[in-house]
Amino acid sequence: MSGWPEVPLGDHADLMVGFPFKSGQFLETSDNAIRLLRGDNVGQGSLRWQGAKYWPETAADRFAVCQLEADDVILAMDRPWIEAGLKYAYVRLSDLPCLLVQRVARMRGTKTLDTKFLRHVIGSPPFTAHVMSITTGANIPHISARDIARFHFGLPPLDEQRRIASILGAYDELIEVNRRRIAGLEAMARGLFEEWFVRFRFPGYENHKFVETPDGRLPEGWCHQPVFDAFAFLGGGTPSKVEHAYWSDGSVNWFTPSDLTKSRTLFMDQSELRITTEAVRRSSARIFPPDSVMMTSRATLGVISINTSEATTNQGFITCIPNDIVPRTFLYYWLLRNVPVFVNHATGATFLEITKGVFGRLPFLTPPPEIVTRFERLARPMHDAILTLERSNRSLAASRDLLLPRLISGQLSVAAVGREVEAAA
């Protein structure tokens, strides 16, 4: 063991909770305004700014103490952890400027604690276990600043903290670079789909005749047909949980919606749970081929991913099977573009669900095959590059997560890691 002293987080971290900005004064646009960092903006490992709220820039100076800095560690205090993990992140330069709102904690290093090392302390399994053990509240699970401050951890000397943070941070930086590349490639492919199949600015559109149809103005030769007639799709099922043999040493991927919501990746290599072929035979779960497009069809409706190997799902999915006329990438973006339509057609008192029958009757845009084929030739290589980057990130994250608890606890020395890296080089 390290021999590092066990200390309470509150004695070494600069810990602050945000200000109760009045929601009635929130602005919806960024014009002459500064972003507000609320609990909704804290994801698992990064900040997300969809649906951000703003505060007038002219009033920001009055809240200087709430202004965040690069590398600040952020933790949501309401619903601080979900199935996907702890809701914590750190502030990047691209996130600034922003102001901290109530029920969100900001942690910063001090003379005895390096901020980048602190980031990994908060991301460690012991801190997650601490948060899970102290979370209270039946309707809205929450933690307090006092609860956060009581966490104990081993505190190495500052130079050791910085070396540990440097090693783990190198993994984070590589993952972040890949994320930016993935986002760029995905935006290019999505933009190409919308340019060709939403705005109808496909190659040669300038000389193409447009006609009025019952479904609106379309290029001549384009039409809508029911989904039933365009491609095959299927639901899923859950083998009996009583039959433990169905779940023991299974080799067939069996996806649940939480697999997709945890990952939020375009491609899925593996599910958390796997079932046996006998379980498939004796349940309504159905095996579908690689390159199918899985879409959650209930509760969190419209999360979409592509499986890379044979798989099954539970009953919370509609899985779409590409074909020669409706290839994978085109199908993926058609589904993604139409999620609001699916939500509008969903029903249910407990949770929203779109049934296979309703889904099958929806209109599917059908351009001429040569246009779709040309799109696929351009967009599919972008998706293939995304798959390579996502797999690289999964490998990097797995390596980092193996190192993190051992380095943070002192079970593995920085020098030993250096020797392993040199041996692998």
Task: Indicate the domain borders of the chain.
Answer: 6-154, 223-366
Strands (E), 260-373: 267-268, 273-275, 293-296, 304-307, 311-313, 317-321, 363-366
Q: Report CA 123 to chain centroid distance, whole Å.
A: 17
The answer to which of 105-109, 200-204, 257-261, 270-274 has the lowest mean pLDDT is 257-261
Strands (E), 67-141: 73-76, 81-82, 85-86, 88-90, 98-100, 104-108
Query: What's the whole-number average pLDDT of the chain?
Result: 93
- How many whole angstroms separate alpha carbon 208 and alpha carbon 44? 47
**Local confidence band at 424 (pLDDT 50, 70, 90 cut-offs):** very low
Tokens linked to 274: 């796997």
- How many whole angstroms separate alpha carbon 232 and alpha carbon 347? 22
Residue 319 CB neighbour total at 10 angstroms: 21
The answer to which of 24-38, 81-95, 286-300 has the lowest mean pLDDT is 81-95
Sign, Cα dihedral of 40, 44, 47, 48: negative
H helix intervals, 113-202? 115-122, 125-134, 145-149, 158-197
Tokens linked to 117: 């090392």
The pTM for the full model equals 0.87
Fold of the CATH domain 223-366: Adenine-n6-DNA-methyltransferase TaqI; Chain A, domain 2 (3.90.220)
The proportion of the chain whose per-residue pLDDT surpasses 70, expressed as a percent, equals 97
H helix intervals, 19-86? none
What confidence score (pLDDT) does residue 390 get? Answer: 97
Cβ atoms 73, 107 nearer than 8 A:
yes
Query: Averaging pLDDT over each range in 46-50, 215-219, 290-294, 400-404, which range is the top one?
Result: 290-294
Cβ atoms 322, 328 nearer than 8 A:
yes
Q: What is the largest distance, in Å, between two alpha-carbon atoms of the chain?
A: 77
Domains 6-154 and 223-366 equal at CATH topology level: yes
Tell me the backbone φ, ψ of residue 25, rounded to 5 degrees. -105, 5
- How many whole angstroms separate alpha carbon 111 and alpha carbon 117? 13
pLDDT tens-place string over residues 214-254 = 878 999 999 999 999 999 999 999 999 999 999 999 999 99
Q: Which of 395, 392, 393, 383 is nearest to 267 (CA)?
A: 383
* pLDDT of 84 strictly over 70: no
The proportion of the chain whose per-residue pLDDT surpasses 90, expressed as a percent, equals 81
CATH class held by domain 6-154 = alpha beta
Angle, helices 158-197 vs 369-409, to 10°: value is 170
Tokens linked to 363: 């209109």
| β-strands 73-76, 88-90 pairing | antiparallel
pLDDT tens-place string over residues 275-296 = 999 999 999 999 999 999 999 9
